[in-house]
Amino acid sequence: MKKIKIVCVGKLSNAFCRDGCAEYLKRLKSSYEIALCEIPEQPTNKKECDEILKRAGDVFVLMDINGEQPDSVEFADMLKKEHERRDEIVFVIGGAEGVDERVRSAARRRISFGRVTYTHQLARLLLYEQLYRASTIIKGVPYHK
C-alpha cells in the first residue's frame, strides 16, 4: 500500500477540524497508509523549522501560500506520479509563523490551496480532503465533480 506522511506543527485543538480530519483519515485508509508526525509548537520559528527538516526527510511537498495552485485533477495526477517514483510522499504544513527559507528551498514542490491564509488546523483538514478527493479521481469512483 502506498504511504503518505504528514509533518505538521501543532495539534488539532478545534473540534470541527479534529472531527473532519478523523472522517477523511477513515476514508483514506482504503487507499493509503497515513502517518502523522505532529511537531509541538516551539518558542521560535527556527526551532520549528529545524524539527520539520529532521522529520520530513529529503523529499517533501510543502503546503505554501506562494506555491503552485493545482486544481483537484492536477493534484491527483501529481500524487499518482509521485507514488510511481516512491512509496511514500511527505507533505509539510508549517505552524502559525509559517516556515523559513531553509524549508522552502528544501521542498521538492510547493503547493497552495489558494492565496488566502488558513490556520494550520484548517490547512490540515483541506489537505486531507484533497488527498481523499485525489484518491477517488485516481480510482475513478464518484465523489469528485
Q: What is the pLDDT of residue 4?
A: 98
Domain contains 24:
yes
> Residues 105, 109, 113, 119: what is their CA dihedral angle, to the nearest 10 degrees?
-40
DSSP 40: P
Domain contains 144:
no
Domain contains 36:
yes
Hey, what amino acid is at 125?
A: L
How many folded domains does the chain comprise? 1
Residue 18 has pLDDT above 70, yes or no: yes
Q: What is the pLDDT of residue 130?
A: 97
**pTM of the model as a whole:** 0.95
- Per-residue pLDDT of 130-143, as tens digits, reads 999 999 999 999 88
Band (pLDDT 50/70/90 cuts) for residue 1 is confident
CATH assignment of the domain containing 112:
3.40.1280.10
Residue 8, SS3 per DSSP = strand
Phi, psi of 13 (to 5 degrees): -95, -20
Domain contains 145:
no
**Overall average pLDDT of the 26-37 stretch:** 96
Domain coverage including residue 91? 2-139
Band (pLDDT 50/70/90 cuts) for residue 57 is very high
Distance CA 58, CA 69 (A): 23
**Overall average pLDDT of the 92-119 stretch:** 94
Query: Among 100, 96, 104, 99, which Cα is nearest to 120's?
Result: 96
Q: What is the pLDDT of residue 143?
A: 80
**Overall average pLDDT of the 64-78 stretch:** 96
Phi, psi of 100 (to 5 degrees): -90, 180
Domain contains 69:
yes
Domain contains 53:
yes
What's the first-to-final CA gap in the chain, in angstroms? Answer: 26
Q: What is the pLDDT of residue 145?
A: 60
Query: Among 23, 9, 13, 6, which Cα is nearest to 132's?
Result: 23
Pairing of strands 109-111, 61-68: parallel
Band (pLDDT 50/70/90 cuts) for residue 49 is very high
